[in-house]
Amino acid sequence: MIVTLTANPSIDRTVRLEQRLERGSVLRATSTRSDPGGKGVNVARVLTAAGVDTLAILPGNPGDPLLLALEEGGIPCRGVSVDGCARTNITIAEPDGTTTKINEPGPALSAATLDALAGELLHHADNARWFALSGSLPPGVPLGWYAELVVALRDHPCRIAVDTSDAPLTELADGFPRAAPDLLKPNGEELAQLTGFDSHVLEQAAEAGDPGPAIAAAGRLVDQGVVSVLATLGAAGAVLVTADGAWVAHRPPIVALSTVGAGDSSLAGYLLAETEGLAEPDRLRRAVAYGSAAAALPGTTLPRPDQLDLDAVTVTAVQPHS
C-alpha cells in the first residue's frame, strides 16, 4: 500500500478562458470544473487510477465537499477532524496552455489535528510500502513538521518520499541526514533553493542538453543522506540521482495544456514503477511519461496508464554525480 499525506488539501476549480488573460478585463470562460486537489491527493488519484492499493490521509470532517468528492471518485481516504473546510484553489487556463493559480492559505491546523494526522501515519507504518508527504503546510503548522514525521517513520519498514517547497523544504534539509527521505522530488527551482544553484542555469543547461548542473545539485542532496533525488525540470525532462548512478530523461514533444498536477503525476509514476520492482532508469521513464501526460491534459485532469507514451521517453545513464 502507498499512503499519501496532504496537510493542506483543496478543491481545485479550473476556469478555461477563450482568450488571453488580461487584468481588469471582463473575460468569458469556455468551461469550468472542480476536482479534489492538493499534491498528496493528486498522487493518490493517479495511483488509484493505476489500480494500486492507496490511502489518502488528510484533514477533513464528515460531509466536507473534498472528502465527498474523493469518495465519489473511488479514492480511499481517511479524514482527520479539523476546524473548517478545505480551501478552494483557482486555476485560470489560457488557450496556449499558460496557467495562473490563486491558492487560498487553508484552515489552520491545531496541535490535536497534527497529532491525529501523525497518528494515522504511524498506524500504517508497518504495512505501507511508501509514504508520500506532499504539498505546502497550512497556517499553524511548524515548518519542521515534515522533518519530524520523517524521523518518526524512520524506524519502520516503510519508505518515505517528500515533495514540498519553500520554508518546509529548507527546514527538512536542515535536518539531514536524520530527516533525509528515501526519495526527494524537487523541481528546478526547489533544487536550486536547496543547493545554492541558479534555477535558470539548471533548466537552461538541461534544455541545451547538459544535465550536469542539475545532476551536481541533486548529488549534493544525496551526499547529505537522501537516497534518491528525482528532479523534474519542466520541458527539459528530469534527472534521477542516487549514490550508485545518475540518469537523465527527455520527455516527448507535447502540446502543454496545463502544468497543474504534472509534478505530482511524476512522483506517482516513480512510485508505481518502484512497487513493480523496476530499476532506476525505468522508474525515471515512468515518472517523466506520467508528468508529460498530465501536462497534455486540461486543468487538473490527471493521467491514466493508457494515456502514457513510455516509448517516447528517452533515458540515458550519465556520469555519477561524484
Active site residues: 264
- Residue 102's Cβ-count burial label (10 Å; 0-12, 13-18, 19+) is exposed
Cβ atoms of 27 and 21 within 8 Å: the answer is: yes
Nearest of 247, 230, 304, 319 to residue 46 by alpha carbon: 304
Which distant-in-sequence residues (6+ apart) come within 8 Å of 78 by Cβ? 55, 56, 57, 58, 120
- CA–CA separation, 169 and 273 (whole Å): 25
> Which residue in the block uniquely carries the three cell numbers 498506524?
123
CA 303 to each of CA 36, 40, 223, 291: distance values in angstroms, whole numbers, following the listed order: 15, 15, 34, 8
Cα torsion angle, 284, 287, 293, 297, sign: negative
